Structure 1
């Protein structure tokens, strides 16, 4: 025996659903029905996102936790076995919006008493902001003068 289920209103003031009338949704309304578009990121939010990504970079946060926040290329660079790195923390964050759906950020990052540059690019998606580019720029190690060429 199949039992039919119906939704009932919980409060007398609620209006019942119109089950008899099919709902026509245009593609534009369908996108809007998923929820409000994510608002513009401010520098504090970008700083928080950068620190979260740095935690994955350092190995202090599983990369799987940030998978939804980053593009596949960025995830590939942050995933996989890693040896522990020194803790990187953002010190200053600067942002700009070169387009309505894009936020670019640069930051000064410190680790072990040294400063590094960080560059990132975020794009707005229907579900939120996603990091498309993430680059921690470290100075190249000077060539070892005692090392002999083979």
Structure 2
């Protein structure tokens, strides 16, 4: 039984009994008997998987040294384009032509100041770098917020070109 107080002002101390939930014991679970297991089909063995293809040392994570430093500076420069502190044309040696047009268009609609915070790099192939990073965005009259960015750099004509950039 569950006891509740009534809402009446005259009879504050009177208790009213209401029926509570009914408890019933759970049924016992028993393991299957011999007669039940005889109808179960055996599970067929899985087809053996093909041996993995050896791609050498790739993909490679956590690139260090010069590559990481160059990627950091390139992404920081791209963020400066979005902050209106630099033009996309200044990065023409490091951006593909579609990327230059894309950044010029995006810079028209963005506001706030961006600062590169973390950087993670993966090399799926020797001539490709895929990077993701977190960026702090500070806008007037708003608290700072974190945004993720991703970029793809390809080694072409003896230099690294950013061929894709995405802000999420």
TM-score category, normalised to shorter length: 0.5 to 0.7
Structure 1 segments unaligned to the other structure (5+ residues): 1-39, 138-150
TM-score, normalised via structure 1 length: 0.60
Shift of 1:83: 5.8
Name the structure with the higher strand share: 2
Superposed counterparts of 1:59-138, under 5 Å: 59-79=84-104, 82=108, 85-112=111-138, 113-137=144-168
Superposed counterparts of 1:129-148, under 5 Å: 129-137=160-168
Structure 2 segments unaligned to the other structure (5+ residues): 1-64, 139-143
Shift of 1:43: 2.0
Shift of 1:44: 2.3
Q: For residues 4-62 of structure 1, give each alpha carbon's deviation from its aligned partner in whole angstroms, at most 9, with x where no partner exists.
A: xxxxxxxxxxxxxxxxxxxxxxxxxxxxxxxxxxxx95222211110001111221101
How far apart in 2 are the matches of 1:42 and 1:130? 12
Name which of 83, 90, 104 aligns with 1:58: 83
Flag as ranges the 4+ runs of structure 1 deviating above 4 A. none
2:148 partner SS: strand
The structure whose RCO (Cα within 8 Å, separation 6+) is larger is: 1
**Aligned Cα RMSD in Å?**
1.8
